[in-house]
Amino acid sequence: MADLCRSEGLLKLQTLLSDPELETGNYLLLKEGMILATDTKNVDSMQETMETDIRSYTLSRQMEIDVFEGAGGFSPTLGIIGTVMGLVQVLSNISDAEHLTQAIAVAFIATLYGVVFANILYLPAANHLKSCLKRQTIFREMIVDGMCMLASGESSRNIENKLSLYYHAFPGCEQKYKAGIEN
């Protein structure tokens, strides 16, 4: 892309905008960057716009993470409430000693469910979403940096060298990058 822009100008990016791959996920930011690069001559303004996009994306994903973290925090509490309600029921039938131990065991199942749901479902899901968000944010920052360097006319080799520093964030990409250089 950088070689194309250096040889034929930034307006040549408009021919790449029809690529259907640019309509998916993180590549929408790349498409936005390409449009901004052709429309905006001010690289700082372009960078500010794209970084605002990253911030709004991060905030919306953080709200999804917060739902799982909240559920992970409230789940044990709801389990304790269930246990207390079960124990109240047990104490109301204390005269039936035969079923007392069984009723107490059933009452404590609610606590177990609360802890299990928190630690096996909700909190791991929140951590997974956080990890994905970090990788997506780094990928988006890489797009912003690349598009800003492209719009400012840096050489393709210089852009490649600077963006290769991001490969540490993506497992396996560094080896692919080094293999591509050697070939």
One-letter identity of residue 8: E
Give me the pLDDT at residue 8, please: 61
Do 11 and 150 touch, CB atoms closer than 8 A?
no
Going by C-alpha positions, the residue among 161, 162, 153 that lies closest to residue 8 is 153
pLDDT tens per residue, range 27-44: 888 888 888 888 877 899
- DSSP H or E run through 133: helix 123-151
| Mean pLDDT taken over the chain | 85
What predicted TM-score, i.e. pTM, was given to this entire model?
0.78
pLDDT at 125: 97
Q: Are 124 and 103 in contact (CB under 8 A)?
A: no
> Could you read off the pLDDT of 83-142 as tens digits, one per residue?
999 899 888 877 877 788 888 888 899 999 999 999 999 999 999 999 999 999 999 999
